[in-house]
Amino acid sequence: MKDYLDSFKLTGKTAVVCGGLGLLGKEVSKAFAQAGAQVIILDINEDEGKKFQMDLSRQNLVTEIISFDITDIYNINNNVQALFSEKGSIQIWVNLAYPRTKDWGKSLTDVNINSWQKNVDMHLNSYCLLTREVAELMKKKEILGTIINFASIYGVVGPDFEVYSGTSMTSDPTYAAIKGGIIAFCRHSASYYGKYGIRINCLCPGGILDSQNPVFIANYERRTPLRRLGRPEEVAMATLFLASDASSYITGATVMVDGGWTCI
Ligand SMILES: NC(=O)c1ccc[n+]([C@@H]2O[C@H](COP(=O)([O-])OP(=O)(O)OC[C@H]3O[C@@H](n4cnc5c(N)ncnc54)[C@H](O)[C@@H]3O)[C@@H](O)[C@H]2O)c1
């Protein structure tokens, strides 16, 4: 009989979590480590890396942290090739780094063209180029790998600006262009690499509870069918599913983890 629980384990696999020291990346890295993967975190935040390693060692979990800047897009191929050469085989790759310019978070009419271009280069273009290079190396090495790109509800639907009322927050329009682009490219690359057994999926979180303005939280809760924001661990569980053999027939999908935000 098939051991279904075994399909969710990552034992014997190497998983790269690119942006793994952020709110969601840390939880994804923990989930992967618990599931038995050898986890490699790529990130630029060295201080956070040291703190996270201490936190993990208290839980008897191990990850390796390597300094890696995804915005260095002209060297992405070399940098990823170097990592594959050093590690041998990488079966799981997650893109969830969140680079943004200092003026990130402007409204539609206020975004300037330089920031727009920079953010698209740093976030959309880096995710796409990383996906292509990782998939190419998996293909060459005949690895039946899986790549998960983080998008967002805002790559699928427009914002309901009412959730920002009573706050100084808004949704940066560049985010919609970036996340919509990531979802479209995910479908394209999933179709292209499917015949090599490489799966490429998008995961779209809704709003995740962090330390947002309480007015925003109340507005967001009212608008969401499950009446709350998400938790990082809920995103990590869905990522683990997409990374594991439990999702072996899923590719090119846009998986919503949004408390029902996009169903209404
Ligand atoms: N948190 C949410 O509510 C939410 C909702 C929807 C989608 N998302 C998406 O989930 C992903 C993760 O979001 P998060 O909230 O964990 O972000 P975060 O800002 O908490 O973490 C992002 C991580 O990326 C790293 N990073 C930034 N620039 C980098 C670079 N140039 N190279 C390598 N690493 C870099 C940061 O150091 C940080 O560790 C993003 O793609 C984001 O768009 C988040």
The per-residue pLDDT for 41 is 98
In this structure, the residue with its CA closest to atom 27 of ligand 1 is: 99
Contact 25, 19 (CB under 8 A): yes
**Cα of 1 to ligand 1 centre, how many Å?**
40
Cα-to-centroid distance, 18 and ligand 1 (Å): 9
Specify the residue for token string 């996906």.
131
pLDDT in tens, 233-257: 999 999 999 999 999 999 999 999 9
Does domain 4-257 fall under CATH 3.30.70.270? My reply is: no
For ligand 1, say whether the CB of 230 is within 6 Å of any of its atoms. no
Q: Is the CB of 220 under 6 A from ligand 1?
A: no
203-213 pLDDT, tens digit per residue, is 999 999 999 99
Ligand 1 pocket residue status of 99, Cβ below 6 Å: yes
If one residue of 30, 42, 53, 98 were mutated to test the ligand 1 pocket, choosing by the most ligand atoms within 8 A of its CB, it would be 98
Rounded to 5°, angle at Cα 65 from 62 and 70: 140
Residue nearest to atom 7 of ligand 1 (CA): 152
* 22 CB within 6 A, ligand 1: yes
Chain mean pLDDT for the chain: 98
Catalytic residue (choose from 154, 164, 175, 220): 175
Which atom of ligand 1 lies closest to the CA of 97? 24
Tokens 């680079």 belong to residue:
99
Q: What is residue 138's predicted lDDT score, i.e. its pLDDT?
A: 98
164 flagged as catalytic: no
- Return the beta strands (E) in 117-226 as ranges: 146-150, 199-205
Report d(CA 107, CA 104) in Å as an integer. 9
3-state secondary structure of 253: coil
pLDDT (0 to 100) of residue 121: 98
51 φ, ψ to 5°? -60, -45
209 in contact with ligand 1, CB cutoff 6 A: no
Q: How confident is the model at residue 191 (pLDDT cuts 50, 70, 90)?
A: very high
What is the tens place of the pLDDT at every residue in 164-190?
Answer: 999 999 999 999 999 999 999 999 999
The answer to whether 37 and 13 are in contact (CB under 8 A) is: yes
Coil, strand or helix at 107: coil
- Distance, CA 98 to ligand 1 centroid (Å)? 3
- Ligand 1 binding pocket includes 258 (Cβ within 6 Å): no
Residue 147 has phi, psi (to 5 degrees) of: -120, 135
> How is residue 255 written in tokens?
């998986």
d(CA 37, CA 91): 10
